[in-house]
Amino acid sequence: MDETKHWADVIADNVAATGEKHIIATGITPSGNIHIGNLREVMTADGAHRALHNAGADAELIYIGDTFDPLRKVYPFLPDDYAEHVGKPLHAIPCPCGNCANYAEHYLMPFLKSLEELDIKPTVYRAHELYENGDFVPATIKALQNRDKIAAILETVSKRELPANWSPFNVLCESCGRITATEVAGFDDRRKTVDYTCDCGYAGTVPVKGNGKLTWRVDWASRWGILGVTIEPFGKDHATRGGSYDTGTRISREIYGREPPYPIIYEWIHLKGKGAMSSSTGVTVTITDMLQVMPPEVLRYLILKTKPEKHIDFDPSRIVELIDEYDRATGRARELSQTKRSLRSDIPFTHIVTALQIASDSDSFREVLRRSGYGALDLESVKMRVKNATNWLALYAPESVKFEVQETMPHDVEKLTPGQRTGLLQIASGISDDITASDLHDLVYGASEAAGISGSKMFQAIYIAILGKKSGPRAGYFMASLDRAFLLNRLNEAGRAR
């Protein structure tokens, strides 16, 4: 890969030369909360889509919700009574909250709403509707006709033996409503029907249209042709030797006569201390939750700044640093991260977090910002960042970041060394009406040197005197943000304390 270009532009260069229209496909089975680990696939597809448009190529982004997939088990986040629905298609299972059309929509709708906020606008397909509309009928008949060839491909490539009764098509039982308990007994390619029996004891004949779906590996290969897919990102699990992409490639070429799409293989997003995100295990951070604590463009940046083949370590407690990194960033990753509603902020997010904890209301918040040198403000941008910072402090901020300015002198001031007290008095004596945050920072180091103590001991003294703890936000901006009379009084009082 060209190290001088953003990865999305490299992909665009690799595929644009074909001159054809490109369909970039992405999708997921909406069996649980769709988290930011899932978002990596969609964002990777969107990055390639934007890069292709920038290169002047004709490209379309599509998203397939695998709503015809069955519920595999009763996940930890579901009530026990969902056991009766195991094996049924997700679109045919009741919504967990009772407010959505079905189980699949319960998880799909919040995700699609999040995509709007992230300025990702795919053409959305629901798999069960494609099957019900008949889009998969020709591919299904061809798969049934070529059952033995497909079985041979799967066994050769994946190195696993299929049962004698294996079929590329899973029938939806008319009686029990399950798609995982049936066995194909025969089919009529002229009438386009399939005969089946079910573990529940039922047997019947149904039209292929809308009454079942192809097995996963065959379904994936067939939809490339049905939807015209030319580019598709997918997780590293599908890219292993003998995995889904290898079998899909052969099925696509040998059964459906079509070249497989250009692959974009991506690594997982790991949640700090918990490993790779997974809806089934409950190790997730939802996209909706993340959009409460960071702007959409920053969530985009988290994923787009890293090459797909590299894993991402995500720590919600360090979102402040991520937002400040985005604000300082230049170049293609930041450009691809922009949304139509992106708002530039000239105030470091770190400082907004500090100012919020100093201020008691919106008026004092604006005054805190003014005192620290941020007088001319884009109020709409600040309003959005304040909302993000407030939510982050409540949900993810580590205790080391949280603080409260003490109205009375903290008891720990009594433990300050003579050198620390001397330094506090010197800092107070050097504060003028027009001193800046940068000057205050330098003043602290000058005072520590004059008092014969380390800079870290001097900073500790400041935080103890004002916050009652040994650590706090960046001292220069922090002190500049405080009421000047309060700051001088506290430094002098702490410096003279015995």
Q: Which residues contact 14 (CB under 8 A, 6 or more apart)?
A: 262
Residue 48: both structure tokens together = 């390639």
Q: State the pLDDT at residue 282.
A: 65
Residue 24 has pLDDT above 80, yes or no: yes
User: 46 pLDDT band (50/70/90 cuts)?
Assistant: very high
Q: What is the DSSP letter of 170?
A: E
Other CB atoms within 10 Å distance of the CB of residue 136: 25
Q: What is the mean pLDDT of the chain?
A: 94
Residue 218: both structure tokens together = 């065959």
Residue 267: both structure tokens together = 């690594």
| Whole-number Å distance between alpha carbons of 244 and 255 | 15
| Whole-number Å distance between alpha carbons of 430 and 444 | 10
| Whole-number Å distance between alpha carbons of 221 and 87 | 23
The amino acid present at 308, given as its one-letter code, is: P
| Whole-number Å distance between alpha carbons of 25 and 261 | 9
Q: State the pLDDT at residue 434.
A: 87
Mean pLDDT of the region 482-492: 96
Q: State the pLDDT at residue 3.
A: 65
CB-CB contact of 374 with 384 (8 Å)? no
Considering only CA atoms, which of 196, 190, 191 is closest in space to residue 169? 196
Please tell me the number of Cα atoms within 13 Å of 375 on its side-chain side. 2
For residue 117, the Cα-to-chain-centroid distance in whole angstroms is 13
Residue 56: both structure tokens together = 């002047």
Beta strands in 75-179 (DSSP E): 123-126, 169-171
User: 278 pLDDT band (50/70/90 cuts)?
Assistant: confident
Q: Domains of the chain: which residue ranges?
A: 7-160+213-269, 349-395, 411-496
Residue 2 has pLDDT above 60, yes or no: no
**3-state SS class at 299:** helix
Q: State the pLDDT at residue 341.
A: 86
What are the tens digits of pLDDT across the range 136-165? 999 999 999 999 999 999 999 999 999 999
Does the CA dihedral 236-237-239-240 come out positive or negative? positive
What are the tens digits of pLDDT across the range 190-222? 999 999 999 999 999 999 999 999 999 999 999
Mean pLDDT of the region 465-470: 97
Q: State the pLDDT at residue 280.
A: 65
The amino acid present at 234, given as its one-letter code, is: F
- Residue 430: C-alpha distances to residues 58, 275, 298, 424, 443 (Å): 63, 50, 39, 10, 7
Q: State the pLDDT at residue 488.
A: 97
**3-state SS class at 393:** helix
What are the tens digits of pLDDT across the range 336-383? 999 998 877 888 999 999 999 999 888 899 899 988 888 766 677 788
Residue 498 has pLDDT above 70, yes or no: no
Q: State the pLDDT at residue 275.
A: 80
Considering only CA atoms, which of 290, 277, 287, 282 is closest in space to residue 78? 282
Q: State the pLDDT at residue 68.
A: 98
Determine the topology of domain 7-160+213-269 in CATH.
Answer: Rossmann fold (3.40.50)
Instruction: Give me the helices (H) in 362-474, please.
Output: 362-371, 379-395, 418-429, 437-451, 455-467
Stated as kind and residue range, the H or E segment containing 200 is none
Mean pLDDT of the region 84-100: 97
**In b/e form, how buried is each residue of 29-68, taking b as 16+ CB within 10 angstroms?**
bbbbbbbbbbbbbbbbbbbbbbbbeebebebbbbbbbbbb
Q: State the pLDDT at residue 99.
A: 94
Q: State the pLDDT at residue 95.
A: 96
Strand-pair category, 59-65 with 123-126: parallel
Tokens 């059309």 belong to 101
What are the tens digits of pLDDT across the range 396-432? 999 999 999 999 999 999 999 999 999 999 999 999 9
| Whole-number Å distance between alpha carbons of 71 and 103 | 9
Stated as kind and residue range, the H or E segment containing 313 is strand 312-314
411-496 belongs to CATH 3.40.50.10140 = no
Q: State the pLDDT at residue 161.
A: 95
- Residue 165: C-alpha distances to residues 184, 197, 223, 344 (Å): 8, 12, 24, 60
Q: What is the DSSP letter of 120?
A: -
% of residues, the chain, pLDDT over 90: 86
What are the tens digits of pLDDT across the range 219-238? 999 999 999 999 999 999 99
